Amino acid sequence: MGDNNTEIKKTPPPKVLVRGGGVPIQYPMLNHENYGLWAIKMKIIMRSLCVWEAIDGSASVDEEKDHGAMAAISQAVPDDVMMAIAEKKTANEAWEAIKEMSIGEDRVKKARAQVLKRQFDRIVMDDSDNILVFSRRFTCVVSEIRSLGEELKESIVVEKLFGVVPDRFLPIIGTIEQWGDMTTMSVTEAIGRLRVFEESLKGRHKFEKEEEQLLLTRAQWEALALKEKKDVERKRPYKKFDKSK
């Protein structure tokens, strides 16, 4: 038997603790379809770990931060990608290699961006959808377009959002257009206002439905009372009229 104190080395799970926060982080795993969202999540994670500077190249980076960024990347890529970036000297080089592998050459990148822009142009909210569900799908397309380096102004996205929701949102959109400034409104704020209006509509429809049910009940009672009155009249004894009097 071996020494009980001997530690068995195991592959660490893809989790770390945010520096100073004690909050567990679940690293996203890169695949051939999710690079845009993966890059956004990794940026947020590495910022929280104070190692994003090693990726964006905005300033000189010390060795500790570079190693920390590389360690974070290694937790979030499959084995084949890890083998492809293993010889990269810096985290920035590894990041750019992953980006190139995921996005491909410039013409492929532009082609992908065009596909997403067509999706953006055609996207429409169905009457059966709610704002919460639709906004997730809508913002996902927007984020992926931007992750490919394409410019998509916030004001254009807000205008598009207001143009593709069902007519039931026209009152709030009209109010915003009249009293607000759509050129400075963020997508998050626009979605929030639409959600508040949607909730108010739900409350109004619920009240109208209850009122309709109440009116229907009254009508039923009136019909029942009329029926009982007719039944009573039918049961009254019939008296013949005496002409001799």
Answer yes or no: do 23 and 91 share one domain.
yes
What's the pLDDT at 3?
47
CA dist 99 and 205 (Å) reads 49
The DSSP result for 74-94, as a single string, is: HTSS-HHHHHHHTT-SSHHHH
Per-residue pLDDT tens digits for 167-206: 999 999 999 888 878 888 999 999 999 999 998 887 665 5
Domain that holds residue 145: 106-199
Does some domain include residue 120? Answer: yes
What's the pLDDT at 12?
44
Q: From the centroid of its chain, how far is CA 154?
A: 16
Q: Which of 183, 199, 215 is the last residue of a domain?
A: 199
Answer yes or no: do 46 and 123 share one domain.
no
Write the Ramachandran bin of 226: left for phi over 0, alpha for psi from -120 to 50, otherwise beta. Answer: alpha
Low-confidence ranges of the chain (pLDDT < 70): 1-23, 58-59, 105-106, 203-221, 224-225, 231-245
Q: Which two tokens stand for residue 119?
A: 């999706």
The DSSP result for 163-219, as a single string, is: HHS-GGGHHHHHHHHHHS-TTT--HHHHHHHHHHHHHHHHHHHHHHHHHHHHHHHHH
Does some domain include residue 205? Answer: no
Place of tokens 């207001």: 162
DSSP 29: P
Supply the pTM of this predicted model. Answer: 0.54
Answer yes or no: do 153 and 190 share one domain.
yes
Does some domain include residue 211? Answer: no
Q: Which two tokens stand for residue 226?
A: 């009329």
